[in-house]
Amino acid sequence: MSTCVFCRIVAGEIPATRVYENEVVLAFMDIGQVNPGHVLVATKDHVENVYALDDAQAAAVARAAARIARAIRSAFAPAGLSVYQANGAAAGQTVFHYHVHLVPRLEGDGMAVHWPVQNPPRDALEAHAARIRAALG
Question: Residue 87, SS3?
Answer: coil
In a domain, 122, yes or no: no
25-31 long-range CB contacts below 8 Å, 24 or more apart? 25/60, 25/61, 25/64, 27/64, 27/68, 30/101
Residue 20 lies in a domain: yes
Per-residue pLDDT at 1 = 57
Positions annotated as catalytic residues are 99
Tens-digit pLDDT profile for the chain (137 aa)? 579 999 999 999 999 999 999 999 999 999 999 999 999 999 999 999 999 999 999 999 999 999 999 999 999 999 999 999 999 999 999 999 999 999 999 999 999 888 899 999 999 999 999 999 999 99
The predicted structure's pLDDT at residue 73 = 98
What is the per-residue pLDDT for 17? 98
Residue 61: inside a domain: yes
CB contact at 8 A, 44 and 68: no
Handedness of CA 99, 40, 11, 4 (dihedral sign): positive
CB contact at 8 A, 89 and 96: no
Domain count, the chain: 1
